[in-house]
Structure 1
């Protein structure tokens, strides 16, 4: 667990640093200096890009994580792992790019959005290729227990570069179309330092080596890759089909508002993302060693920690929601309910922890394929029926319901097949504590009238929430790991203050 703690701690710092930068960029800058339709364009391009990346990888990254112990050999360049992944990725990129070209007219079908989308459609190609290559290299580094570099580059540096790109249009140095080139460069650049870092890891090699790929292993690897194409595509569907279908059924304006509102859900998921990246290679190794007890421990602790952090963030968002939307254009207020719906669905995701990672890395991975294929049908159907009725709120409902569905089924499968289930009375305590603390903070007097008072209101509510929530969580001892982190942080503060007094 020490490796996970260290990696997860650093990843969490970079993730939430990136969240802060992303929040400033998405919420304050894009929300005020771009038109909602332009905001929607950026969201749709990224949504299509992530789906295309998943298809282009042809399932290699997921299979590579599961079977990397077979490749691991630094002296032999990890038996051609990178060459194989790069070859498969390029082949997949050619296939998906061809399909993208052939389906262009079908994809660009909404008359109101067609001109804006068509003018920027082919930016999907460099975005997809750069992200495809980054994912391969990040996955390689992650399998060698370096989960921090990829998190820093993807969660922090990429968002910082996007903020810089936005500044060019804010200060009227470029127009929107020129800005799009800067934005694509900002999104894609992170592959360059990732390649440099990967090249410094022990055993880096782009030379072919097929010694591991025996007929039996190739068949098993290929079958798993095929299944994870389906599961990975399904994951992308639940994450991004809402924006794609919302843009197709309504307008890019609605999609832009929805995109800004849904950002809060991604903020809540950062703690689990960091833990997942740190835990994945250790879970894979534990399965190889048949150490189910270690996996069960990781599973239980991940759920507790993620829910604690998630509830704290949810309360911070919910209690400050009206104040936050004062800093946006008035039309964005339509997205308030979207924030609440998506964040509630994300809480269930956090409460069930690493169920998906455990299931896909186990010998029962085929069950996850069935779950994720059914998820495509459910998610698309929910969006198809709910968006025409409820608009962006319908997309949020569809996302929340789908999130609860696939996490519940995965939780039950891990319990049934592996005998692991992470729920305990501690999770109930966390939820009860959160509700009580939320009600207490909610009845505090409001400071309202202008943006200065709104800022002061958010500050004193957030500080009160953090202190009260931290004290209750520490006192209840629901997470020994967080208690230890709090003690270490307090000792650090005491040392700093002590040095300051002596000087």
Structure 2
């Protein structure tokens, strides 16, 4: 647990530092200096890219995480793990690139969006290849218990470079089409320092070594990889199909508004993402040694910590939502409902903790495949029927419902097959405390007037929320891990002041 706490703490710091940079970039800069349709283009390119990356990996990263204990041997270059991953990734990239060329006309089908999308369609290739390679190297480092580097590069550095790219267009140094080259570079650059870091880890080798790949193990590894292609693809579907279908059914303008609003949901998920990256290799090792008690402890604590942080962020968003949208172009105000719907769905995701990670790393991983195949059908169907009726709100409803569906089913299967479940009365306490604090702070007087008064209103509400919420959570002793982190942080502040 000490390894998890240290790695998760550092990852969380970088994640939320990146969130701050991303928030400034996505919400204030892109929301004000790009047209909503251009915002929608960026969202659609990233959405397609993540789906293509998942397909191109051919399930190797997920299988590599589960079976890495079989490869781990620094003296032998981890038995050719990276060579195998690079080979599989290159084959997958060539296959998906061919499919992309063949399906180009089908993908670019909305007449209103076709010119904007067609002019930038082939940026998908460098974006996909760079992200595919980064994911392989990040996964390799994560399996060697370095989860911080990848988080720093993906969550902070990448977003910082995107902010710099936006500044070029704000100061009219480049036009939009020139900006697109800068943006693609900003999104792709992180693979270079990630490769350098991977070479510094003990046992780095790109030499082939197939000694581990016995016929029996190869069959098991290949079967798991095949299943995780489906599960991984389904995960990408739930995360990105809403933007893809929204752009196809409506316009890039509406997609751009939705993209900015949905950013808040990703902010809420940062804490669980950091915990997941830190816990995944330990859970894999615990399964290898049959230490189910350790997994159960990680499961329970991840749920409590994630929900505490998630409720705090949700309250901050909810209490300031009207103020936040005053800083955007008027058309973006249509996204307020999207924010609330997506964030409520995300709270259920946080409450169920690491259910997906535990299930996919267990011997019952095939159940996750069934869940995800069902998820594809449910998500696409919900978007297909809800978007034409409710527009971007329909996409938000579809995402929230799908999030609740797959987390609920995963929770039930982990409980049924492994006898683990994260829910305790502490979760009820967190929800009750959060509702009480939220209602109390929402009754505070509003500072009306110009934008300076709006900033002041946001500041005093956010500071009040943080202080009250932090004191109540600390006093309740619901999470010893967070109490320890808050105590250490306070001691560092006092030491700095003195």
TM norm structure 2: 1.00
Aligned residue number for residue 423 of structure 2: 423
Aligned residue number for residue 262 of structure 1: 262
Pairing 1:258-337 to 2, within 5 Å after superposition? 258-337=258-337
Alignment partner of 1:139 is 2:139: yes
Alignment partner of 1:355 is 2:355: yes
Mapped to 1, the partners of 2:121 and 2:497 lie a distance apart of 55
The Cα offsets for residues 376-435 of structure 1, whole Å up to 9 and x where unpaired, read as: 000000000000000000000000000000000000000000000010000000000000
Mapped to 2, the partners of 1:46 and 1:490 lie a distance apart of 39
Mapped to 2, the partners of 1:471 and 1:74 lie a distance apart of 46
By how many angstroms is 1:495 displaced? 1.8
The Cα offsets for residues 86-123 of structure 1, whole Å up to 9 and x where unpaired, read as: 00000000000000000000000000000000000000
By how many angstroms is 1:496 displaced? 2.0
Residue aligned with 1:481, SS: helix
By how many angstroms is 1:491 displaced? 1.6
The Cα offsets for residues 335-357 of structure 1, whole Å up to 9 and x where unpaired, read as: 00000000000000000000000
Alignment partner of 1:250 is 2:253: no
Mapped to 1, the partners of 2:86 and 2:214 lie a distance apart of 19
By how many angstroms is 1:300 displaced? 0.2
Mapped to 2, the partners of 1:484 and 1:76 lie a distance apart of 40
Mapped to 2, the partners of 1:355 and 1:49 lie a distance apart of 26
By how many angstroms is 1:485 displaced? 1.2
Pairing 1:20-99 to 2, within 5 Å after superposition? 20-99=20-99
Aligned residue number for residue 459 of structure 2: 459
The Cα offsets for residues 228-271 of structure 1, whole Å up to 9 and x where unpaired, read as: 00000000000000000000000000000000000000000000
Mapped to 2, the partners of 1:448 and 1:14 lie a distance apart of 34
Pairing 1:410-489 to 2, within 5 Å after superposition? 410-489=410-489
Where has structure 1 moved over 3 Å in runs of 4 or more?
Answer: none
Alignment partner of 1:393 is 2:393: yes
By how many angstroms is 1:73 displaced? 0.4
Aligned residue number for residue 186 of structure 1: 186
Structure 1 residue runs without a partner (length 5+) = 499-503
Residue aligned with 2:422, SS: coil
Aligned residue number for residue 501 of structure 1: none
Mapped to 2, the partners of 1:261 and 1:167 lie a distance apart of 21
Mapped to 2, the partners of 1:408 and 1:281 lie a distance apart of 24
Mapped to 1, the partners of 2:496 and 2:96 lie a distance apart of 54
The Cα offsets for residues 5-54 of structure 1, whole Å up to 9 and x where unpaired, read as: 00000000000000000000000000000000000000000000000000
By how many angstroms is 1:497 displaced? 2.5
Number of aligned residues: 498
Mapped to 1, the partners of 2:251 and 2:147 lie a distance apart of 38
Aligned residue number for residue 408 of structure 1: 408
Pairing 1:86-235 to 2, within 5 Å after superposition? 86-235=86-235
Alignment partner of 1:8 is 2:8: yes
Residue aligned with 2:209, SS: coil
Residue aligned with 2:26, SS: helix
Mapped to 1, the partners of 2:136 and 2:5 lie a distance apart of 24
By how many angstroms is 1:225 displaced? 0.1
Mapped to 2, the partners of 1:476 and 1:162 lie a distance apart of 40
Residue aligned with 1:210, SS: coil
By how many angstroms is 1:494 displaced? 2.1
Mapped to 2, the partners of 1:497 and 1:127 lie a distance apart of 45
Structure 2 residue runs without a partner (length 5+) = none
Mapped to 2, the partners of 1:67 and 1:219 lie a distance apart of 12
Residue aligned with 2:109, SS: coil
